[in-house]
Structure 1
Amino acid sequence: MSGHSKWSTIKHKKGAADAKRGKIFTRLIKEITVAARMGGGDADANPRLRTAIAAAKNENMPKDNIERAIKKGTGELEGVNYEETAYEGYGPGGAAVFIESLTDNKNRAVADIRSIFNKGGGNLGENGCVAWMFDTKGYIVVEKKVVDEDTLMDTAIDAGAEDVRDDGDNFEILTDPRDFEAVKTAMESAAIEYIAAEITMLPQNTIDLKGKEAEQMIRLMDNLEDCDDVQKVHTNADIPDDLV
């Protein structure tokens, strides 16, 4: 079973309070465009597009923006051709870092990401150096105040979830990626609101960082997420809550 998804939890706790809405919209538009290009513009027949649209609506993205992104993906409107690329490396304390990128210029992306690693006390590694430390999982976060654990457990497990875990203020639901949509739909049918739902990379094990290394890791992750060519960043670093 995957390890604790500490960084994902931290980011969702921080929420929109420190979010840069323009950057969030840009990432969502890229994801919608690529999802539509790869699987077609019909959200009912394209799970990746359906998830991307749901994420966009959750951020209150205007409907027109969503529709334009879909049309750019299907070729109805002219748009940028984004390439999906993964980058891997190590942060302070030897923590693993896995980066998902969507870019129209791979040379620029790798140069910027390498620079961020170098300045942040880490280093960009070869493909495959840390990917084996992560599992691709469906990940849904539900606040404890929304539902009791037994009800959530019954709903999620019956729909195909692998595990439901207690994470302090929240419950984390983990699924096989193939069962993610079914579990998410079951949550919605049961009127159980969630604060996050995505396909993500979860660490098999975590590494504890404290003091200076933890502070450096937070800055590294923030700087990577601020990079225009970066979509998502994953790490196996376990960072103390009081530093966030």
Structure 2
Amino acid sequence: MSGHSKWSTIKHKKARTDEKKGKEYTRIAKEIILAARSGGGDPEANSKLKLAIQKAKAINMPNDNINRAIKRGTGDLESDVIEEMNYEGYAAGGVAILLDIATDNRNRTASDIRHLFSKHGGNLGETGCVSYLFDRVGLITVNREDVKTDEEEFMLLAIELGADDVREDEDSLEIITSPESFMDVKEKLELQVKIEYADIVMLPQTSVEITDENIAAKILKLIDVLEDHDDVQNLYSNLSIPDELLEKLS
């Protein structure tokens, strides 16, 4: 797992304020709207919408909010026009950052994101400047302590169910799938073990290790402010930070 992923895990374990929860609801609502707009309002016929609804329920988003978001996506309720796009850039130390954006005002968002990159020692780049460093995959994470069978048997089972690879981390197993087989593998694995995390992500092909404390702190600050921006749906990076430094910074 990349340093950025571990940093996100540390942050998510901290108590969420009402403001943070509200931002989470807004982010997932946008995801539901976009999924329903592109693939229809039936989650059984729209895997993207099905996954978005699962995420909403995982953070206890009220059903009324979920249903309103679906109706906004299908056009049954009025909604602002939301555009999807990707922004790419570099943080300090040459760390690549890739952003999924959902906005109703692309000029405002571009200005905001450019300012945040610049303020925190990075720079917003052109389309394609870092995306080639990432692969779009399905990622399913399982805590090792939740695997009740032999780990090697579980890893073989995941491959038999359609996973492309299984990677070992200190506390977890990461199951990698193609985007197309992701939902099928996820639903089959859920019958076997508790799933900690599951989503379609942009996985870095290689990582950039940062060992300088000041540079690492600057990068993590940039990641924090970008993730807190209302129009940023997802943030991916190829950041790697040694565990001892990450713990110190947290």
Q: Distance in 2 between the 1:193 and 1:10 partners?
A: 22
Shift of 1:14: 3.3
Shift of 1:167: 1.2
Counterpart for residue 76 of structure 2: 76
Aligned-partner residue type, residue 106 of structure 1: R
- Normalised to the residue count of structure 2, the TM-score between the two structures is 0.92
Shift of 1:160: 0.8
Count matched residues. Answer: 240
Q: Distance in 2 between the 1:168 and 1:15 partners?
A: 18
1:145 and 2:142 are equivalent in the alignment = no
Deviations 1:98-132 (A, max 9, x none): 01000000001100000000011000000000000
1:55 and 2:55 are equivalent in the alignment = yes
Shift of 1:139: 0.6
Counterpart for residue 12 of structure 1: 9
Deviations 1:173-198 (A, max 9, x none): 111111101110111122x1111100
The verdict on how the C-alpha distance between 1:141 and 1:9 changes in structure 2, with shifts beyond 3 A counting, is: farther
CA RMSD of aligned residues (A): 1.3
Counterpart for residue 136 of structure 1: 136
Shift of 1:18: 4.8
Counterpart for residue 64 of structure 1: 64
Instruction: Name the SS for the 1:228 alignment partner.
Output: coil
Counterpart for residue 231 of structure 1: 233
Q: Distance in 2 between the 1:182 and 1:116 partners?
A: 38
| Counterpart contact for 1:12–1:196, Cα < 8 Å | no
Aligned-partner residue type, residue 208 of structure 1: E
1:99 and 2:96 are equivalent in the alignment = no
Matches of residues 98-177 of structure 1 in structure 2 within 5 Å? Answer: 98-147=98-147, 148=149, 149-177=151-179
Deviations 1:5-54 (A, max 9, x none): 44234313432525411111110000000000000000001011011011
Q: Distance in 1 between the 2:208 and 2:48 partners?
A: 31
Counterpart for residue 40 of structure 1: 40
Aligned-partner residue type, residue 163 of structure 1: D
| Counterpart contact for 1:206–1:237, Cα < 8 Å | yes
The verdict on how the C-alpha distance between 1:102 and 1:208 changes in structure 2, with shifts beyond 3 A counting, is: same
> Which range moved further: 181-190 or 24-33?
181-190
Unmatched segments (≥5 aa) in structure 1? none
Shift of 1:155: 3.0
Counterpart for residue 215 of structure 2: 213
Instruction: Name the SS for the 1:234 alignment partner.
Output: strand
Aligned-partner residue type, residue 114 of structure 2: R
Q: Distance in 1 between the 2:42 and 2:182 partners?
A: 18
The verdict on how the C-alpha distance between 1:200 and 1:18 changes in structure 2, with shifts beyond 3 A counting, is: farther
Counterpart for residue 194 of structure 1: 195
